[in-house]
Structure 1
Amino acid sequence: MKAYVFPGQGSQFTGMGKDLYEQHTEAKRLFDKANDILGFNITDIMFTGTEEELKRTRVTQPAIFLHSVAQAAVAKDFNPDMVAGHSLGEFSALVASKVLSFEDGLKLVYKRALAMQMACEANPSTMAAILGLEDDKVVEICASIEDEIVVAANFNCPGQLVISGSNRGIEIACEKMKAAGAKRALPLPVGGAFHSPLMKPAEVELAQAIKDTTFSDGICPVYQNVDARPHTDPQEIRQNLIKQLTAPVLWTQSVQQMVADGATHFVECGPGKVLQGLVKKIDRTAEVSSAE
């Protein structure tokens, strides 16, 4: 069985999507439509913008979404048995599996990006990657830090977690993780504490937009970040998407569940190969490739 997976923030690069735009009429149509919906030429930034321009949340999120959805739209034999997306990638997965329309998906992603940007500015906060420590130990250390918000935010693969929280909390946590035997505890160059309670203002803002958006029956189950379970009911998918901004991304658990449910081949749709690497670390027997 084939699982199509869609990357999140961090996989952007200058020139992303240019080949799709030049080689496929359908991709060009989606790119041009995105420029109209967003009210600025995101394609110019994607194709020729600097790394710094692409790193801005209001650009990064719609750019990765656009690249991913366009790649799925032109992929040969796109007929997924299941889909999943990492954080932002969940929106791409929902559009590719026909739960959301392209227009609605893009509008939600842009609103999400702006809401997250505002939440970051209101509460200076950050994230850090913790390598070489058991998941349970990372969770335990986060819970032990008093008077600061620190949580496990991304369960990327065994031995690679990302924690999220206040600047001081992350500083304390990194010291404690190293003392507990972590190979590395690296603060990440991000604008805020994504997938933590500090994103509550963004969640509230996005919740109304999600409630006002039409969710349809998709073409296959979507394995969602908040519970790593397959979902086909539009109402359940909607509720899980609202919780996603403040809840951890259960990527390890999602891939394990997809494998348990019969996935043997994971196809990554979008810029980069980050998810292929994570899938192989979660299950060495899984076959991985990029969408063509």
Structure 2
Amino acid sequence: MKAFVFPGQGAQFVGMGKDLYEQNPLAKELFDKANEVLGFDITSIMFAGTAEELKQTKVTQPAVFLHSVISALCMGDDFAPEMVAGHSLGEFSALVAAGALSFEDGLKLVHARALAMQKACEVAPGTMAAIIGLADEKVEEICASVSKEGSVVIPANYNCPGQLVISGNVEAINEACEKMKEAGAKRALPLPVSGAFHSPLMQPAKDELQAAIEQTTFKAPVCPVYQNVDAKPYTDPVAIKNNLIAQLTSSVRWTDSVQHMIADGADDFTECGPGKALQGMIGRIDKTVAVHGIE
């Protein structure tokens, strides 16, 4: 069975989508529409901006979403998913590609999400760190031991076996990183981000995004969408909405999502969007499945 997966923030690169725009009439139409919807010229930043401009959350999230969704839609009949999933932001791309959200509504929600997350970062500064080479259970145990009232750290992204990202207050992250190294982690590397994504520090953004999601029309997707919060497949629009609202303060259960997709018959994964991060993760989760990018 064919599964299509969509990457999250961090996969962006300058020049992304330019070839699609120049070579595909549908892509050009959708990119031009995106500039109208957003009220600024995102394509000029994507195609020829600086890495610094592209790194701003309010630009990065719509940019990765646009590249991912437009790449999928421009495949024509070759885009025939039997299941989809997206990593964090990529869940919005997956929902649009699978027909649960319109292109315009998906883009508006992603833009609202990016602005809300940016604001939450300013209200409650936090950070994240990649932990390499420790069992999930050990990472969870250390996070729990470090967390206390007013200073929290939690596992945010379960990317693949031996690779987790933790998220929380800066002091708590620093303390947790030291303890991870003492426990035998190969690396405990703070990431260059200004926010504690997928942690309780994102509560203000969740509240803001919830209002936008509740006002948006969702339809049943053409195939099951495996959602981040519990890694299970959904087709009911109400459940999909609720999971999307919960996502901002919940862990991304990517390892479980891929394993559940494989258990349900997926043997061919295509990553739609910039970069190859998900291909690498899926290869480490299960070496027996076919994994490739859209190109």
Q: Normalising TM by the smaller chain, what interval?
A: over 0.9
Offset of 1:145 from its aligned partner? Answer: 0.9
Amino acid at match of 1:222: V
Q: Does the Cα contact within 8 Å between 2:147 and 2:153 map onto a contact in 1?
A: no
Structure 1 segment 1-292 matched on structure 2, within 5 A: 1-76=1-76, 77-147=78-148, 148-292=151-295
How many corresponding residue pairs? Answer: 292
**Secondary structure at 2:180 match in 1:** helix
Separation in 2 of the partners of 1:149 and 1:75? 43
Offset of 1:146 from its aligned partner? Answer: 3.9
**Secondary structure at 2:230 match in 1:** coil
**Secondary structure at 2:248 match in 1:** coil
TM-score, normalization by structure 2 = 0.98
Structural RMSD (CA): 0.6
Amino acid at match of 1:25: P
Q: Which 4+ residue blocks in structure 1 deviate beyond 4 angstroms?
A: none
**Secondary structure at 1:244 match in 2:** helix
Percent of aligned positions that are identical: 69
Amino acid at match of 1:192: G
Separation in 1 of the partners of 2:79 and 2:236? 22
Separation in 2 of the partners of 1:27 and 1:287? 27
Amino acid at match of 1:291: I
Q: Does the Cα contact within 8 Å between 2:57 and 2:114 map onto a contact in 1?
A: yes
Q: Does the Cα contact within 8 Å between 2:167 and 2:173 map onto a contact in 1?
A: yes
Stretches of structure 2 that go unaligned for 5 or more consecutive residues are none
Stretches of structure 1 that go unaligned for 5 or more consecutive residues are none
Offset of 1:165 from its aligned partner? Answer: 0.2
Offset of 1:124 from its aligned partner? Answer: 1.1
Offset of 1:217 from its aligned partner? Answer: 1.1
Amino acid at match of 1:247: S
Separation in 2 of the partners of 1:289 and 1:10? 19
